[in-house]
Amino acid sequence: MKLIRYGEAGKEKPGIVDTKGAYRDLSKHINDVAGATLGADSLSALQQLDIDSLPEIPADVRLGPCVGNVGKFICIGLNYEDHARETSADIPQEPIIFMKATSAISGPNDPIIRPKNSTKLDWEVELAIVIGESISYADEAQAEKAIAGYCICNDISEREFQLERGGQWDKGKGCDSFGPLGPWLVTKEEIKDVLNLDMTLQVNGKQYQNGSTRTMIFPPAYVVSYISQFMSLQPGDVISTGTPPGVGLGMKPPVWLQPGDNVELQITGLGQQRQVVKDYQETL
């Protein structure tokens, strides 16, 4: 299944994509694509619905983040060997964990807002995991069962804030609009091989990232299991699993996003995001 959330920001309703790609409303069946509705029993019940008989939603509706009420927004750094090398970083021996603020979450096609005093705004196409069951101290088999599905995340980063302002990475990762999720939450049975997904990102029509989950160092089930050794995970938590090479920081010289830039990213089977960069003053 491909689940969506649609409508005005902060007031999104649940929906689903039918076999022809049209959007259908799920409001009479679930309150939101969030929390308990992501459990195995709830998803199984949705699979039994006659999707094509549900009310159709206009194709031009705004899509919100594909998961609502996210409790934790967790990220894995340097999880692609070729990306670690392009940034002159050591290959990690264990997953690097950091957090993005949940207030950074936005819709897949909402604007990227360049923060005040930003000078080094960057992009990162990433595969994100959506948790469907509560787990703690899980082994990999338990972790796999706890995964509800996957979506695209653009892990927007402000590199000066992240790398040159002291402390940990969070300052450069949690600004408003720095976590577009969607367009769809694709339940895991639709993804036949999560370690064989092509990932691309373009800026103003020029392709910068052209990678694959094949080069991921720590695969999804391992990542979920590993994180659960340090914190419990609940339904609706999101884990973004790292980016392949081709980020602006890795260019020679570096390339940074500017107001007016158009960003397009996609992952096989998970859809496409499109964003326009706006300066924070344009949103005041």
* 88: containing domain: 67-283
Is 181 part of any domain?
yes
**Whole-angstrom distance, CA of residue 29 vs CA of residue 92:** 44
- The pLDDT tens digits for 216-255 are 999 999 999 999 999 999 999 999 999 999 999 999 999 9
Q: What is the CATH number of the domain that holds 234?
A: 3.90.850.10
pLDDT at 112 (0 to 100)? 98
Is 106 part of any domain?
yes
Is 197 part of any domain?
yes
How many structural domains are present in the chain?
Answer: 1
Task: List the beta strands (DSSP E) in 78-230.
Answer: 96-99, 105-106, 112-114, 121-122, 125-131, 147-154, 157-158, 179-180, 185-187, 198-203, 206-212
- The pLDDT tens digits for 150-186 are 999 999 999 999 999 987 888 999 999 999 999 999 9
pTM of the predicted protein model: 0.97
Is 148 part of any domain?
yes
Q: How many residues does the chain have?
A: 284
